[in-house]
Amino acid sequence: MTDSIRFLMCPPNHYDVDYVINPWMEGNIHKSSRARAVEQWQKLHHVLKEHTIVDLVEPQVGWPDMVFTANAGLVLGNNVVLSRFLHKERQGEEPHFKKWFEDRGYTVHELPKELPFEGAGDALLDREGRWLWAGYGFRSELDSHPYIAKWLDIEVVSLRLMDERFYHLDTCFCPLTGGYLLYYPPAFDSYSNRLIEMRVSPEKRIAIEEADAVNFACNAVNINQVVVMNKISEGLKEGLAAVGFEVVETPLTEFLKAGGAAKCLTLRVTEPVSSEVHANRPVESRIIRMEGHLLDSGLISKAIDLIVEAGGSFQILKFDLGVQRQSPSSAEVKVSAPSHKLMEEIMSQLIDLGALTPPQELCDTKLEPITADGVAPDDFYVTTIYPTEVRINCQWVKVQNQRMDAAIAVTQTESGLVVRCKLVRDLKVGEQAIVGVEGIRTVHKKESREQRNKEEFSFMGAGVSSERRVELVVEQIAWEMRKIRDQGGKVVVTAGPVVIHTGGSKHLARLIREGYVQGLLGGNAIAVHDIEQSLMGTSLGVDMQRGVPVQGGHRHHLKVINLIRRCGSIAKAVEQGLLTQGVMYECVRNHVPFALAGSIRDDGPLPDTQMDLIKAQAEYAQLLEGSDMILMLSTMLHSIGVGNMTPAGVKMVCVDINPAVVTKLSDRGSIESVGVVTDVGLFLSLLVQQLDKLTSPYQNSM
Ligand code: ARG
């Protein structure tokens, strides 16, 4: 008998499954046998009494789960952190446990209301006393961990639970004497698994299989070398024996019906304090502000989802709901994360959503020098499409050349500091880059209810659109294009060869001729097929009139490439009167600049195709500068390239027959992007018709 170890248990006089608050209870309401429960409980009690002292707390009518004393609180030395149950079904147990602790002279710490923590069910001391493992994700809130660390003066390692069946840490995790650990890794997220692996060496980790896990093998009571549990496989028993543990099985099937077993039925109330260990600051918290149509646009739920999905937790500190339909709401949210790294990850995603950190908190965003050309500091902030501002000299400064997937470079020039987006490869020694996430904000247009409805109505978020819907979208696009042309704006088209194969070339050529297009971006193929069609009437050897392959047609495109190569360029072929129609012809004739980016599969290429991809990206970026609208016509590759270079605020229309491409491209989270799932040739013909309708009849020449 080990005198110094005491446990607390609660006889099952009033035990039953009366409600469902975990998956084990489902289908088990009133299905447990009281007689069998009493018998099983007494056996466990008996086993424990052989090794330790067991104290009892008086069971209470109406609180059937009180038998699970692990959830009374968490004891360390003379301190107890009392549980705050998540579910009201168990909250009534709190005063009874509190009284028990107070009567025995413990110092009882109580968490703020609304901050759930379920005691030793979710917090397990390393048996060497080095730190406390604390679970969160289902019952206990991450934000309770700093309180525990402070009150118990111990380092807390936060572990995130992922599998509903293992809703309390003690259902899937059991620290053992000598630094061993019995646990079920799939119950945790990968970050937590890494934490575990960093603290417990491989030879001390005993990972169990699902079959043992669902028998609650981890829900074991460990007293020195003895491990008491419900049931265990022979293999695991041998594994434990091999490292010196004696397993005692005692059936607890009646309690499994409520989602508990040996460990849940006990609370160790003697836990020696180790003088060498102290609290850490495990959990980081920040306060963010969000403004806008938080409810109708779903912004607040997006923010909350992303915090939780990333492994953090949140508290809404303030929520001012806009009263009128048009009035924006604002919210203040406390975000917590178990580590600095995760905090930064969550914050950068929140910044993408438009969250603000109170500016008074920080004067300057963190900068680090570039130490090698083309290489950013480790922790560099990765940009998005949204206009971004950073804190420099205690002021918000707008970042120039906004694009996504870049670094923010700060360069000292003669005329002052320049803050702009730069691709990593373009960073230069002597510049600095912004690191971390503090003091960065993105500016979003307010999304109104009307805009959202419009978007849902006209742009096919989900799946294929009906013809009539396509017509409606085309009407809007035509209207925009007409407006942009009349205001001297800029529309850039990025097009794939499908435009030619689907018979769209004459329509696109006409848009160029009539001044609706100010730049064309594509690859080698669109130009080759367009010129093939103009010169030979085929596209990749298929007769465009009859839709059938012509004899020897597969060589046509090579002949075309050869011809243009002989001329020296597409423009020269036009000059020499060889090329007299088509998309490329109209570009040359109407001085509409184009950029053709090469790829590994290009035949030829045409002399105009830029095979140096870095140069091609630069040509694209230059042509895109200042654009008001981008039409993306059936080319995923070039459209993604273009999308990455384009800041929010530029209207993007993506047309593709493949809904997946459209979804991928129009899902930039920005309200200006539109997806149209349809045949691109058909789209262009509708677009031209619609533009005709908007133009007086005598202006139409075709
Ligand atoms: N029915 C109880 C609940 O869901 C079971 C508690 C089990 N206790 C434990 N420490 N895992 O709260």
Is the confidence at residue 469, as pLDDT, over 90? no
Residues 377 and 482 in one domain: no
Tell me what pLDDT residue 453 has: 41
- 483 and 613 both lie in a single domain: yes
List, in sequence order, the alpha helices (H) in 437-466. Answer: 449-458
Does the beta carbon of 21 lie inside 6 Å of ligand 1? yes
Lookup: tokens for 479? 């209207």
Sheet of 416-422, strands arranged across? 367-369, 432-434, 407-413, 416-422
- H/E run at residue 76: strand 73-76
Query: For residues 334 and 347, what is the distance between their CA atoms, to the nearest angstrom?
Result: 11
Residue 444 belongs to some domain of the structure: no
Q: Is the minimum distance from the CB of 65 to ligand 1 under 6 angstroms? A: yes
**Which amino acid would we find at residue 144?**
S
Of 15, 68, 257, the one to substitute when testing ligand 1's pocket (max ligand atoms within 8 A of C-beta) is: 68
Whether residues 622 and 516 share a domain: the answer is: yes
Is 47 contained in some domain?
A: yes
- Note the residue count of the chain: 702
Q: What is the pLDDT of residue 28?
A: 96
Domain boundary among 411, 438, 465: 438
What is the C-alpha to C-alpha distance for residues 643 and 672, in angstroms, rounded to an integer?
12
Q: Are residues 434 and 331 in the same domain?
A: no
pLDDT exceeds cutoff 90 at 511: yes
Q: For residue 610, is it within any domain?
A: yes
Query: For the domain that residue 229 is a member of, what is the CATH number?
Result: 3.75.10.10
Of 149-158, 533-542, 619-628, give the lowest mean pLDDT range: 533-542
pLDDT for residue 588: 98
Spacing, Cα 67 to ligand 1 middle (Å): 9
Q: Is the CB of 22 within 6 Å of ligand 1?
A: yes
Q: Closest Cα to residue 690, out of 488, 471, 483? A: 471
Rounded to the nearest 10 degrees, the angle between the axes of helix 636-645 and helix 613-624 is 60
Task: State which amino acid sits at residue 687.
Answer: L
Whether the Cβ atoms of residue 677 and residue 657 lie closer than 8 Å to each other: yes
Catalytic option among 168, 293, 444, 501: 168
Q: Where are the beta strands (DSSP E) in 358-512?
A: 367-369, 388-392, 395-398, 407-413, 416-422, 432-434, 440-442, 491-495
Protein residue whose Cα sits closest to atom 9 of ligand 1: 264
Amino acid at site 442: T
678 in any annotated domain: yes
Q: Are 93 and 36 in contact (CB under 8 A)?
A: no
Question: Which ligand 1 atom is at minimum distance from the Cα of 167?
Answer: 11
450 compared with 118, residue with greater pLDDT: 118
Which of 65, 97, 229 most suits a substitution to test ligand 1, by most atoms within 8 Å of the C-beta? Answer: 65
Q: Tokens 């500068």 appear where? A: 625
Residue 354 near ligand 1, beta carbon < 6 Å: no
CATH code, 430: 2.40.420.10
Any atom of ligand 1 within 6 Å of the Cβ of 121: yes
Residue 607 preceded by cis peptide, ω within 30: no
Could you tell me the distance, in angstroms and rounded to a whole number, from the CA of residue 196 to the centre of ligand 1? Answer: 23
Domain residues for the domain of 694 are 456-701
Stretch 140-160: mean pLDDT: 95
State the distance from the centre of ligand 1 to the C-alpha of 13, rounded, in angstroms. 17
- Is the pLDDT at 591 greater than 60? The verdict is yes
The type of residue at 166 is F
- The atom number, within ligand 1, closest to the CA of 118 reads 10
Q: Do 355 and 369 fall into the same domain?
A: no
Nearest to 701 by CA among 515, 516, 514, 517: 514
Three-point CA angle 107, 111, 114, nearest 5°: 155
pLDDT in tens, 292-346: 888 888 889 999 999 999 989 998 899 998 888 788 899 999 999 998 889 989 9
What is the CATH classification number for the domain harbouring 673?
Answer: 3.40.50.10690
Cα 111 from Cα 152, distance rounded (Å): 13
CATH number, position 306: 3.30.70.2690
462 has a pLDDT exceeding 50: no
Least confident of 161-170, 216-225, 462-471, 679-688: 462-471
**Spatial CA neighbour of 467 closest among 674, 651, 676:** 676
244 and 105 assigned to the same domain:
yes
Looking at the CA of residue 71, tell me the nearest atom of ligand 1: 10
**Distance from C-alpha of 461 to C-alpha of 457, rounded to nearest angstrom:** 9
The pLDDT of residue 454: 43
Look at residue 446 and tell me if it is in a domain.
no
Write down the pLDDT at residue 697.
53
- Decide: 481 in ligand 1 pocket, CB within 6 A: no
Look up tokens 């360390």; give the residue: 76
Q: Calculate how far, in angstroms, residue 245's C-alpha sits from the geometric centre of ligand 1.
A: 26
Quick check: CB of 259 below 6 Å from ligand 1?
Answer: yes
- What mean pLDDT, rounded, does the chain reach? 91
Q: How many C-beta atoms surround the C-beta of residue 62 within 10 A?
A: 9
For 386-444, what is each residue's pLDDT tens digit? 899 999 888 889 999 999 999 999 999 998 899 999 999 999 999 999 998 888 988 87
Q: Candidates 17, 22, 25: which one to mutate for ligand 1, based on the most atoms within 8 Å of Cβ?
A: 22
User: Any bridge partners for residue 79, and if so which?
Assistant: 76, 107
Query: How many Cα atoms within 13 Å fall on the side-chain side of residue 224?
Result: 10
Cβ of 264 closer than 6 Å to ligand 1, yes or no, is yes
Residue 448 pLDDT exceeds 60: no
The domain boundary, picked from 360, 388, 423, lies at: 360
pLDDT tens-digit readout, 13-60: 999 999 999 999 999 999 999 999 999 999 999 999 999 999 999 999
Does 619 lie in the same domain as 537?
Answer: yes
* Residues 405 and 483 occupy one common structural domain: no
Q: Tell me which residue of 373, 171, 185 sits closest to 262, measured CA to CA.
A: 171
Pair 75, 268: CB distance under 8 Å: yes
Q: Assess whether the C-beta atom of 366 lies below 6 angstroms from ligand 1.
A: no
In-domain check, residue 278: no
Last residue of a domain, one of 311, 331, 360: 360
CA distance 670 to 652: 10
CB atoms within 10 A of CB 404: 18
CA of 129 to the centre of ligand 1 (A): 24
Residue 260 Cβ < 6 Å to ligand 1: yes
Residue 364: the pLDDT is 84
Decide if 276 is inside a domain: no
The ligand 1 atom at the shortest distance from the C-alpha of residue 258 is 1
Task: Collect all residues with Cβ–Cβ distance below 8 Å to 104 and sequence separation of at least 6.
Answer: none
What is the CA(112)–ligand 1 centre distance, in A?
A: 21
For the stretch 597-635, what's the b/e string if a residue is b when 16 or more beta carbons lie within 10 angstroms of its beta carbon?
A: bbeeebebbbbbbbeeeeebbbbbbebbeebbbbbbbbb
67 lines ligand 1 (CB under 6 A): no
Q: Which atom of ligand 1 is nearest to the CA of 70?
A: 10
Active-site hit among 10, 174, 218, 264:
264
pLDDT of the residue at 702: 45
**24 alpha carbon to ligand 1 midpoint, in Å?**
10
Report residue 463's pLDDT band, with 50, 70 and 90 as the boundaries.
very low
Strand-strand pairing, 609-610 and 594-597: parallel
pLDDT in tens, 6-19: 999 999 999 999 99
Nearest CA to ligand 1 atom 6: 260
- 631 in contact with ligand 1, CB cutoff 6 A: no
Do 418 and 369 share a domain, yes or no? yes
Say yes or no: CB of residue 168 within 6 Å of ligand 1.
Answer: yes
Instruction: Please check whether residues 462 and 486 belong to one and the same domain.
Output: yes
443 lies in a domain?
no
pLDDT digits (tens, 9 = 90+) for 220-239: 999 999 999 999 999 999 99
Between 453 and 92, where is the model more confident? 92
- State yes or no: is 168 an active-site residue: yes
**What average pLDDT does this structure show over 516-531?**
97
Q: Are 229 and 318 in the same domain?
A: no
Asked whether the predicted pLDDT for residue 574 surpasses 80, the reply is yes
147 lines ligand 1 (CB under 6 A): no
Expressed in angstroms and rounded, the spacing between residue 252 Cα and the centre of ligand 1 is: 13
User: Among 390, 391, 622, 354, which Cα is nearest to 399's?
Assistant: 390
Distance 311 CA to ligand 1 centre (A): 22
CA dihedral 603, 605, 610, 614 (to 10 degrees): 40
User: Separation of 264 CA from ligand 1 center, angstroms?
Assistant: 6
Identity of residue 109: H
Q: Per the structure, how many domains does the chain have? A: 4
Ligand 1 within 6 A of 267 CB? no
Active site residue 264: yes
Looking at the fold, whether 61 and 128 belong to one and the same domain comes out as: yes
- What's the CA-to-centroid distance between 675 and ligand 1, angstroms? 49
Res. 663 pLDDT band, cuts 50 70 90: confident
